[in-house]
Amino acid sequence: MVTKRLVLWMTLLTCGIFLGFQRQEFPSHEPEGRAILFNCAKVPGLSVRFHYEPRNTELVRVPLILRSVPSQDARLGSAEGTEEQAITAYVSVEEMKAFVEMLSRIDLEWEESTQPASLNFTRGSRRYPASAPPLPFMEVIATCPIGSAKTYLEGERLCSDLVPLASALRTRRPQWEFEVYLAYSKCSIPELDPKEFTREFPQ
């Protein structure tokens, strides 16, 4: 009886060690925030806000928001906003899906929430947690009715990680707004014409 119990105990121990090695050998590489990003990207209403914080704190640049809308929405392919609050560019659900797919491939740590995030911006109210990297950095917030995800992108990675995402935006005006925003954030955008569109935002 003792021998049988010993054999059973050794068998269970061996299986436990084997399964433990399996878990270590094949870890999950799914980035944090991927579930929220992809679930939000399936339907209209996902907004992704980019807010660049330069090293010179006297310079305050308003955020850029990409927002997905249905194909019949008259705002699709346009941009609106004010230079004091935010610039919002409207993209299709398909464009946003492709954009989120590329964004999710970047090695970033996302803070998830089941609550939507506020995208309101007020000059002089910038307060960031200790987890934010040193200036300069880009704060990225993705939000929709089912939740939100937030991350910070270090300044030295900003251009190499974000510039390729412009290729996911097939509508020219939102793509231009994204490229101009990155150019203002010290990124080099080949063949960008900053005067391609004229901003006539209400003040």
Quote the pTM value: 0.78
Q: Does a structural domain hold residue 178?
A: yes
Q: Alpha carbon of 150 to those of 121, 130, 138: distances in Å? A: 15, 14, 11
Q: Does a structural domain hold residue 197?
A: no
Strands (E), the chain: 47-53, 64-69, 79-81, 87-92, 111-113, 137-144, 147-154
Query: How many structural domains comprise the chain?
Result: 1
- The owner of tokens 């008259």 is 74
Q: 136 in the Ramachandran plot: left (φ > 0), alpha (ψ -120 to 50) or beta?
A: beta
Other CB atoms within a 10 A radius of the CB of residue 140 amount to 21
pLDDT digits 0-9 by tens, 11-26: 544 444 333 433 333 2
pLDDT digits 0-9 by tens, 70-95: 999 999 999 998 766 789 999 999 99
Q: Does a structural domain hold residue 177?
A: yes
Domain that holds residue 179: 34-121+131-184
Residue 187 reports pLDDT greater than 80: yes
pLDDT digits 0-9 by tens, 39-49: 888 878 899 99
Strands of the sheet containing 64-69, edge to edge, are: 79-81, 87-92, 64-69, 47-53, 137-144, 147-154, 111-113
Tell me the residue type at 24: Q
pLDDT digits 0-9 by tens, 174-186: 999 999 999 988 8
Q: Does a structural domain hold residue 71?
A: yes
pLDDT digits 0-9 by tens, 105-160: 999 989 989 999 988 876 655 566 667 777 788 999 999 999 999 999 998 999 99
Q: What DSSP state is assigned to residue 136?
A: S
pLDDT digits 0-9 by tens, 48-70: 999 988 776 555 678 999 999 99
Q: Are 91 and 169 in contact (CB under 8 A)?
A: yes
